[in-house]
Structure 1
Amino acid sequence: MRLPVPVGIASVALWLPEHQDTAENAVAERRVEARTARELGNPRLPVAGDVSPPEMAVLAAREALRGAGVPAAGVSLLLHAWMYYQGHDLWSPPHYIAHQLGAHAAVPIGIQQICNGGAAALELAAARLTAGDEERVEERQEEERQKNGRQEDGRQEDGPAPRYSLVTTADRFALPGFDRWRSDYGAAYGDAATAVLLRRPAAPGDLVLRALRTGAAPHLELMHRGADPFGRLPRENPTIDMRRTKRVYLREHGVEPFKKTNREMIRYVVTGALRDAGLAADDPRIRFAVLPRLARKTLDDAWIPVLGELLTAPAVDWGKETGHLGTGDLVAGLHEVVSRAALGPGEFGLLLNAGAGFTWSCAVIEAPAASG
């Protein structure tokens, strides 16, 4: 997706719980095999305990809003993405998040695209911001300002008031429904929430989202369905076992078709995102490509070689200490870019992501050029 106007990244937040589960303990307690732990490459995983995913999302969102100095009443769109159970049935987590934040002028929308949900939400939020004015949202925001008796939308003295979209993600991978070490191949799962606040127009000093390209291979949905019949109610199988459903696919098709598709789709989203951003693959201003937070063996075998063929910039793995964060990998990578001040003026970074379905995404971000 080529963005017709720059979309500013006003603020980004990553909420991690204090408690951790170490691979050493998991191996000692026979909750994961020693060989599997080595291939995963995660020494520890964050564990949320009794904090629910929507509550985690609220904490991350409050940090993002506070970091940008933007009141919740100024948010016109709230997109929440999740992979696993959010705590209630037939209930809308994004509406809860908006309610708790006080984002009463926002339209809350849920995104369920498994692990690529955060990237999908970011793309939809950027598209919405660049699609034109939303008169009804502006009316709602004006009503909120009048009700509260003060200006609350971050309006600047000069120029139009910025419009804000908030993207949150949150997942908690708790037993007995989900085994963070052994429910899947190629990833160990950590609990976390993320939030990113986008604005149009971008403000001076904002990182800018330049492009976001997504591609999918729907025939691979079988890898997470296997031979299981369609259930009549949630969780008829008490513990999620993606290893089992993937074995069904592999017995029928082998591993090579998936590997081939994965390579092709990584190439598609990277080259497409670069083209949309107006960049050549060897542009020296591209500093790095941030990898999804998958197992080290998976990155070494399936991601790093492909990126090495496409880019002169290095692929970086910043997820070792957290593991896979469900829908939150891409935004967590963005948080690392900001917290590490990893981009200099006028430099670019790529953020990679993928999820069951299968879907792949690549975002291109740019640091503002030096003033003067």
Structure 2
Amino acid sequence: MIVEDVYIESLGVVLPEWVSAEKAIADGLWDVEGQQVSGLTGAYTAGDTPAMAMAVTAAQRALERSRFSFDTIGSNIHSSVNYQGPDGTYPPGYILRELGAESISVMNLQQGCNGMLSSLEIAIGQITGAAGIEAVLLTTGENFTSPEINRWVDGGGLVLSDGAMAVVVGGSGGIAQVRSVNTGILPALEKLHRGDGSLLAHGDAGEPPSMIERIERFYESEMPMSEMVERIALFDLSVIHRSLVDAGLNASDIAKVIPVNMNRHMVEFSVMTPLGLPMSRSSWDFGKAVGHVGGADVFITLEHLVRTREVTPGDHLLLVSMGPGWICTAAVVTIVDLPSWAD
């Protein structure tokens, strides 16, 4: 999809306390081999701070940095992966009540780790389509702290990290112009994350299998891992290629590739090698210490690159995220102007 006159106008990040991989190993939560294979060096942990509370703070920071007044925000799109609140919770309602907002268009997406780029795709339609919305607030927040979750090993090649992200998207200038975005799905891998149990909540007796167990069962009964890896790489590359073509660019034109924060091998062999680009053109050196904050990863990295002035006007960036389903979204943005808060 070719995109015109849509901009990433402001960014707000919340990252709580950082914990090193060395501490996780010393505490018996991870092993040296797992850390060395992944190359991941740490994660953020929020303790008992709710995910939605962090999302509110991230939204406040993004709005403080924005030139849009609060009453010009016409929509809030919230996305998440993990627990947000007790049954009956509607995150956009909570976030907007905490912000003191009036009634606006809202949406709560369940797109897994693809959530924020999917939110961007919807925001583009709201700004350029019949709704004619002036500015959209994207939010997300994650807290994986739980006795049932070992964030260091349960992610299957990802270290689960806590934090929140907010993005203001508008139609009249900003930090980066959105040039293109495309999403696709590979239904043959739908059971990879869901597993093969009953579709009814009461259908399975006993404790449901963990994510790692579900993935291993998929390899055994549905598709060998080698075939799955190859199909994902080819599929993701096809989505990325569409976005590059729509932006009128080649892979060699991309100054930085910003993928989900996963282990080095996954970034290198599923994203960078198919594009013919070296790892130095990826954001992995930053992301390896952040960990995987659900759908927030790509925008947490973008905020870092802008704030530290590691990108300059004219730089083209490729943002790529994936999620269960198997879904993939790729967006190309071009840096237009560095904001006053970039230091």
Q: Which amino acid aligns with 2:137?
A: L
Deviations 1:242-300 (A, max 9, x none): 110000001121112211221112211221111111223333xx312122200123223
Within a 5 Å distance, the mapping from 1:118-157 to structure 2 comes to 118-134=116-132
Within a 5 Å distance, the mapping from 1:1-372 to structure 2 comes to 1-3=1-3, 5-17=4-16, 19-134=17-132, 163-200=134-171, 202-203=172-173, 206-232=175-201, 241-252=210-221, 253-283=223-253, 286-308=254-276, 314-317=281-284, 318-368=286-336
Q: Which amino acid aligns with 2:225?
A: V
Q: Can you give the 5+ residue segments of structure 1 that lack an aligned partner in the other structure?
A: 138-162
User: Partner residue of 1:159?
Assistant: none
Distance 2:31 2:214 in 1: 20
Q: Which amino acid aligns with 1:220?
A: L
* Alpha-carbon spacing, 1:329–1:369, altered in 2? closer, same or farther (3 Å): closer
Q: Which amino acid aligns with 1:265?
A: F
The answer to whether the 8 Å contact 2:268/2:279 transfers is: no
* Alpha-carbon spacing, 1:312–1:173, altered in 2? closer, same or farther (3 Å): closer
Distance 1:282 1:322 in 2: 26
Task: Determine helix, strand or coil for the equivalent of 1:6.
Answer: coil
Distance 2:337 2:155 in 1: 42
Distance 2:205 2:266 in 1: 30
Moved more, 75-84 or 267-276: 267-276
Task: Determine helix, strand or coil for the equivalent of 1:336.
Answer: helix
Following superposition, the deviation at residue 369 of structure 1 comes to: 7.7
Distance 1:223 1:251 in 2: 11
Q: Over alpha carbons, which structure has the higher Rg?
A: 1
Following superposition, the deviation at residue 240 of structure 1 comes to: 7.4
Q: Which amino acid aligns with 1:228?
A: G
Q: Which amino acid aligns with 1:60?
A: A
Distance 2:279 2:151 in 1: 34
How many residue pairs are counted as aligned between the two chains?
Answer: 336
The answer to whether the 8 Å contact 1:171/1:192 transfers is: yes
Q: RMSD of aligned C-alpha atoms?
A: 2.5
Q: Which amino acid aligns with 2:14?
A: W
Moved more, 188-197 or 71-80: 71-80
Following superposition, the deviation at residue 313 of structure 1 comes to: 8.7
The answer to whether the 8 Å contact 1:9/1:207 transfers is: yes
Distance 1:219 1:348 in 2: 32
Q: TM-score by structure 1 length?
A: 0.84
Moved more, 336-345 or 56-65: 336-345
Distance 2:161 2:337 in 1: 35
Distance 1:366 1:221 in 2: 33
Distance 1:308 1:67 in 2: 36
Task: Determine helix, strand or coil for the equivalent of 1:116.
Answer: helix
Distance 2:110 2:116 in 1: 9
Q: Can you give the 5+ residue segments of structure 2 that lack an aligned partner in the other structure?
A: 339-343
Q: Which amino acid aligns with 1:229?
A: S
Task: Determine helix, strand or coil for the equivalent of 2:317.
Answer: strand
Distance 1:215 1:280 in 2: 20
Report percent identity of matched pairs: 28
Following superposition, the deviation at residue 238 of structure 1 comes to: 6.7
Deviations 1:159-184 (A, max 9, x none): xxxx1101011111012232211213
* Alpha-carbon spacing, 1:303–1:338, altered in 2? closer, same or farther (3 Å): same
